[in-house]
């Protein structure tokens, strides 16, 4: 059953047939390890962190399938689906800083909603999860209904588990966007304050952390470009599909925190999976690596 479903997922995700080897060598051992955590009174929250386009949502789809084959109900909550609606971000842009019109950084998510959803999933309730439509850059009217009870909660997102930077690290702009559009550091300090406040409360729900680690920030644009190409192919006339220039500016919003997480998260991860330019795992470290024999 799992193999057949994985075949379907490989086709849906436009992955090569060689992806079966990744499932066998990496995702099946990880699913087996997670299966050992099922059956707890309260469903554990397993966070999956990684830069844009690293394959977090794809990994979660395969883990759901592999765990389902073991009779375990894994539910994925995506941080992206907690983005504030466009109108709310525009209010932030007027009241705090214009850069908050762009989704992505801490401060642009509904953390209270995230806490409520995790609590409901842990209570064994049927939950309607929000859906963020990237092609429209806005929250969709549609929702995704889960099946109760959830045995494992997969919480994936580009900055899940992130901690605030030291204050002194915010003084110097990290790129042209910050230098020209946030010279007084209002935006980046508000982002950091959000990490120290509402996001810290949300991330405190995390029981275990997996990180998909790219070599450096330069890989983020290439990975995110592939993601945008998939979106453009499926919805070529969608208003929020970005060309290269728009995409470079968009990714610049993420650069500071991405670089910080590449330093800060690896020592705290239960499983650190290094991935190459083709989004293929090439090395594993951390407490889980030995348990998974990978």
Angle formed by the axes of helices 244-252 and 218-234, to 10°?
A: 130
What local confidence, expressed as pLDDT, does residue 227 receive?
64
Categorize the per-residue pLDDT at 3 as very low, low, confident or very high, splitting at 50, 70 and 90.
Answer: low
What local confidence, expressed as pLDDT, does residue 225 receive?
63
Categorize the per-residue pLDDT at 109 as very low, low, confident or very high, splitting at 50, 70 and 90.
Answer: very high
Categorize the per-residue pLDDT at 234 as very low, low, confident or very high, splitting at 50, 70 and 90.
Answer: low
Q: What is the mean pLDDT of the chain?
A: 91
Q: In the 8-state DSSP scheme, what is residue 212?
A: E
Q: For 205-218, what is each residue's pLDDT tens digit?
A: 999 999 999 888 87
Nearest to 93 by CA among 203, 224, 261, 253: 253
Does this model's pTM top 0.95?
no
Nearest to 77 by CA among 122, 118, 40: 118
Total number of domains in the chain? 1
Nearest to 261 by CA among 205, 214, 197, 207: 214
DSSP 11-54: HHTT--TTHHHHIIIIIHHHHHHHHTTTT-SSPPEEEEEE-TTS
Mean pLDDT of 17-39: 94
| CATH for 206 | 3.40.50.300
Q: Is the pLDDT of residue 51 over 90?
A: no
H-helix segments, 69-131: 86-95, 111-122
Mean pLDDT of 249-258: 93
Least confident of 60-74, 108-122, 212-226: 212-226
What local confidence, expressed as pLDDT, does residue 2 receive?
47
Q: In what order do the strands lie in the sheet with 208-213?
A: 74-78, 152-157, 45-50, 208-213, 271-275, 281-285
Q: For 164-189, what is each residue's pLDDT tens digit?
A: 999 999 999 999 999 999 999 999 99
Q: Are 61 and 73 in contact (CB under 8 A)?
A: no
In DSSP terms, 138 is beta-bridged to 133
Q: For 270-280, what is each residue's pLDDT tens digit?
A: 999 999 888 89
Domain that holds residue 200: 2-292
Task: Check residues 12 and 112 and name the one with the higher pLDDT.
Answer: 112
Mean pLDDT of 239-260: 84
Q: Is the pLDDT of residue 231 over 60?
A: no
Q: Is the pLDDT of residue 1 over 50?
A: no
What local confidence, expressed as pLDDT, does residue 290 receive?
84
Buried (b) or exposed (e) across 144-156, using 16+ Cβ within 10 A? eebeeebbbbbbb
What local confidence, expressed as pLDDT, does residue 115 receive?
98
């Amino acid at each position: 059953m799992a193999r057949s479903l994985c075949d379907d997922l490989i086709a849906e995700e436009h992955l090569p047939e060689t992806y079966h080897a990744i499932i066998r060598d990496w995702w099946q051992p990880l699913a087996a390890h997670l299966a050992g955590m099922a059956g707890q009174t309260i469903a554990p929250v397993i966070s999956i962190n990684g830069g844009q386009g690293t394959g977090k949502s794809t990994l979660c789809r395969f883990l759901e399938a592999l765990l389902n084959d073991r009779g375990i109900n894994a539910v994925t909550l995506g941080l992206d689906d907690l983005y504030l609606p466009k109108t709310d971000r525009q209010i932030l842009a007027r009241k705090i800083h214009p850069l908050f019109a762009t989704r992505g950084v801490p401060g642009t998510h509904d953390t209270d909603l995230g806490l409520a959803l995790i609590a409901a999933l842990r209570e064994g309730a049927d939950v309607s999860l929000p859906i963020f439509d990237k092609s429209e850059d806005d929250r969709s009217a549609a929702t995704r209904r889960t099946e109760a009870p959830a045995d494992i909660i997969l919480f994936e997102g580009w900055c899940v588990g992130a901690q605030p930077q030291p204050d002194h690290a915010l003084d110097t702009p990290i790129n042209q966007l910050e230098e020209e559009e946030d010279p007084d550091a209002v935006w980046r300090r508000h982002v950091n304050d959000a990490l120290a406040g509402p996001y810290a409360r949300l991330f405190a729900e995390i029981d275990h952390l997996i990180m998909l680690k790219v070599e450096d920030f330069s890989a983020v644009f290439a990975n995110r470009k592939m993601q945008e190409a998939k979106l453009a192919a499926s919805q070529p006339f969608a208003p929020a599909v970005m060309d290269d220039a728009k995409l470079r500016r968009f990714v610049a919003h993420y650069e500071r925190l991405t670089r910080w997480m590449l330093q800060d998260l690896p020592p705290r991860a239960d499983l650190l999976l290094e991935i190459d330019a083709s989004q293929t795992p090439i090395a594993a470290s951390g407490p889980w690596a030995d348990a998974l024999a990978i």
